[in-house]
Amino acid sequence: MKFVGDYHTHTLASDGTGFVRDNLRYAEKRGLEEVAITDHSFTCFLCHMTRWKFNLQEKAIKKYLDSTKSSLKVYHGVEGNLLGFDGYLDVPDDVIKRCDVLHLGFHRYLKIHVAFKYAKYVFTNGFGPKRAKEKIKDLNTESYLKAMDTYPIDVLVHLGHRCPVNVDAVLKKAAEKGIYVEFNEKHVDVLEKNIETILDSGVKLIVGSDAHNYKKIGRLDQVAKFIEKYQIPEERIFGLGAKPTFKDKNNG
């Protein structure tokens, strides 16, 4: 299976191991035509995005492409956190406008004051027993739906990992809004129980290694197995049979 893109990678700006140039160089070495740099967002604990880092990344991407004359397509973005039950995204508007790609996901290690501000949401989803999570599933779902209505989200990353949602409702909205659902190399198995719903929903699917070690960029073995197992047509998978287009963040 020949992947052409990897739309979810981390660098030293958050908790990855490489500089931007390492990620880009490695993506090319792996034979990718497209790659996204999507570090953890503004409210993550310790290794989080800042405007200063975002500026540096932007410059590093330009410098790499100018100096190597590479034809690699690079998407610069942020892996945003959904916070609480009102669909709040922790990426400032001015940064969203500069993102080529905007991811939305749940993460449990947040700045302490943020974690306590959204305590029920963060601690139940992040650390609670399954029973407790089930009780807030409807609230999680509402939050996802609101976020998708409010922000120019491109990709739902590792959907269903830790933070349970009513998949039908989320997929319906994602399909309506042209939002991709990620096949994440580390967490693709969480989609297994909903695979029929996913395929029937017509939602667009996209691949991401979620590589923190830059040498794992473009390695999508689990994703490949999953695609084979469920015989998903390659043309439905962006980064495999097709290349994605992301939203214009300055319009609408």
Q: Which is nearer to Zn ion, 105 or 152 (CB)?
A: 105
Among the candidate windows 42-50, 78-86, 123-131, 146-154, which touches Zn ion by CB under 5 A? Answer: 78-86
Residue 93 C-beta: closest distance to Zn ion, Å: 22
Per-residue contact string for residues 232-251; x = within reach of Zn ion by CB under 5 A: --------------------
161: which 2 tokens?
Answer: 């990992």
Q: Which is nearer to Zn ion, 13 or 234 (CB)?
A: 13
What residue number has its CB nearest to Zn ion?
210
Q: CB–CB of 166/158 below 8 Å?
A: no
- Rounded Cα distance between 237 and 233, Å, is 7
**Stretch (H or E) spanning 81:** strand 73-83
Size of the site for Zn ion (CB under 5 A): 3
Q: CB–CB of 206/244 below 8 Å?
A: yes
Q: Which is nearer to Zn ion, 3 or 66 (CB)?
A: 3
Residue 44 C-beta: closest distance to Zn ion, Å: 9
Per-residue contact string for residues 90-119; x = within reach of Zn ion by CB under 5 A: ---------------x--------------
Strands 88-89 and 73-83, sheet pairing = antiparallel
- Rounded Cα distance between 33 and 73, Å, is 6
Is residue 210 a contact point for Zn ion (CB under 5 A)? yes
Is residue 28 a contact point for Zn ion (CB under 5 A)? no
Is residue 39 a contact point for Zn ion (CB under 5 A)? no
- Rounded Cα distance between 219 and 210, Å, is 10
- Amino acid making up residue 47: C
Residue 15 C-beta: closest distance to Zn ion, Å: 9
Q: From its phi and psi, is residue 108 left (phi > 0), alpha (psi between -120 and 50) or beta?
A: alpha
- Rounded Cα distance between 241 and 249, Å, is 25
Is residue 182 a contact point for Zn ion (CB under 5 A)? no
Give the residues lining the site for Zn ion (CB under 5 A). Answer: 79, 105, 210
